[in-house]
Amino acid sequence: MTDNIPFNKPAITGKEIEYISDAIASGRIGAGGPYTNRCASLLEDLFAINKVLLTPSATAALEMAAMLCALEPGDEVIMPSFTFVSTANAVARMGARPVFVEIRSDTLNIDETLIEKAITDRTKAIFPVHYAAVSCDMDAIKEIASRRGLMVVEDAAQAVNAFYKDRALGSLGHLGAYSFHDTKNYVCGEGGALCVNSPELMERAEIIREKGTNRGKFLRGEVDKYTWVDIGSSFIPSEIACAFLLAQLETVHSLTEKRRGVFDFYCESLKPLEEARLLRLPVIPAHCTTNYHMFYVLLPDGPTRNELMAHLKRCGISSVFHYVPLHTSPMGARYGYAAGDLPLTENLSERLLRLPCFAGIGEGDMTRVVSEVSSFLEARALTNRPAGPAGFSG
């Protein structure tokens, strides 16, 4: 009996306990201590970001971003339907309306050529999502936004240490959100950051994060007492989480290299199946550098995906699909959407399967994954006709 292969296992780099012990010994475990500051500076320096505010999650960072966009009931925000709920929730909880746009079949990112058509006089912002840490077409998106006077908030939750034309994802919009959740590349259990790229948003960002007070100014000695000045909430992580996170961020390059090894191994080994048109590998445009956050394949159709997933499960291999498109969800229905509205998004989502991909996965396990995927698809190709009259497409 072979061991089960998990879908994900957070990488531990070795210094986490030392840094947490140090934080405890120093007596500073609340918010805004030295580890929080070191994480923020490190991210600012590594990725040339104007200002980084650590948060308890990317969800919190997106919520802050929606507040900073000053969204009002009835306002509209353009985003893909193919994303995690937090992108849309951040907008919905302001009373604003997510407007879902189709994705591109190559990168699975929002189709920038369809954005302009979705703009109305209620549109306030575009929330592009960098799926699998492969950048959206940010030049096109920023051009539309600046011409139409819209805010750009990057959901870069998966995209820490990924780049577009040598600029870090998260640093390109007015605001950007990072995640350090357990399932991402660089982790602290639950954690995130808001990248504040527009300097004029900084003062309000700090106030929102400090429960609506000007405590930041007070701590810098700019005012002699602090008080309630705006709407806010508690969007600050603890020092304990940031102590853990610093250990991860200090090894950001070696963690990425390990993932690159996994990604390249899968690409190389599954290439023959792509050539036989039994699956499609991820597409990374030339001007994009990924952090190898995930490894997914696209199968010819939904039933093949589901059967392959079930087969892998029987072999003790965890694989997962992604995402149930938001426009087909019960909340999507509340905004007037229904299945069939975004056919490409629905089709791609039905055919996508994510394989186990994490920094510590061994070559033996990857070989087992590849051999189970290959034998399943090859056997299926022998018994079935090729999918559809035109074979595999997309």
Ligand X SMILES: *Cc1c(COP(=O)(O)O)cnc(C)c1O
Residues at the site binding ligand X, with contacts judged by CB under 6 A: 57-59, 83-84, 86-87, 129, 155, 157-158, 179, 181, 192
Do 124 and 76 form a contact (C-beta atoms < 8 A)? yes
- Taking the complex as a whole, how short is the minimal distance between the CB of residue 109 and ligand X, in angstroms? 11
Closest CB to ligand X among residues 161, 304: 161
- Taking the complex as a whole, how short is the minimal distance between the CB of residue 326 and ligand X, in angstroms? 11
- Taking the complex as a whole, how short is the minimal distance between the CB of residue 158 and ligand X, in angstroms? 5
- Taking the complex as a whole, how short is the minimal distance between the CB of residue 170 and ligand X, in angstroms? 12
Closest CB to ligand X among residues 145, 194: 194
Rounded-to-10 torsion of CA 320, 283, 374, 2 = -40
Closest CB to ligand X among residues 59, 171: 59
- Taking the complex as a whole, how short is the minimal distance between the CB of residue 192 and ligand X, in angstroms? 4
Give me the phi and psi of 124, to 5 degrees please.
-115, -25
Name which of 150, 181, 182, 185 is nearest 169 in CA terms: 185
Do 43 and 290 form a contact (C-beta atoms < 8 A)? no
Which residues on neighbouring strands pair with residue 103, listed in sequence order?
110
- Taking the complex as a whole, how short is the minimal distance between the CB of residue 241 and ligand X, in angstroms? 11
DSSP H or E stretch at residue 18: helix 16-26
Which residue shows structure tokens 């191994």?
A: 265
Compute the chain's Rg from CA coordinates: 22
- Taking the complex as a whole, how short is the minimal distance between the CB of residue 224 and ligand X, in angstroms? 36
- What letter represents residue 55's amino acid? T
Buried/exposed code over 130-166 (b: 16+ C-beta within 10 A; e: otherwise): bbbbbbbbbeebbebbeeeebbbbbbbbbbbbbbbee
Kindly state the greatest CA–CA separation across the chain: 77
Closest CB to ligand X among residues 142, 293: 293
CA-CA distance, 304 to 351, in Å (whole number)? 8
Going by their DSSP bridges, the two strands 192-196 and 175-179 should be labelled as antiparallel
- Taking the complex as a whole, how short is the minimal distance between the CB of residue 13 and ligand X, in angstroms? 19
Closest CB to ligand X among residues 5, 58: 58
Closest CB to ligand X among residues 164, 265: 164
101: three-class secondary structure by DSSP: strand
4: three-class secondary structure by DSSP: coil
- Reading the block at residue 246, the tokens are 């610093």
Closest CB to ligand X among residues 97, 130: 130
Closest CB to ligand X among residues 308, 326: 326
Neighbours of 227 (CB within 10 A): 10
Angle (deg, nearest 10), helices 16-26 and 239-249:
150
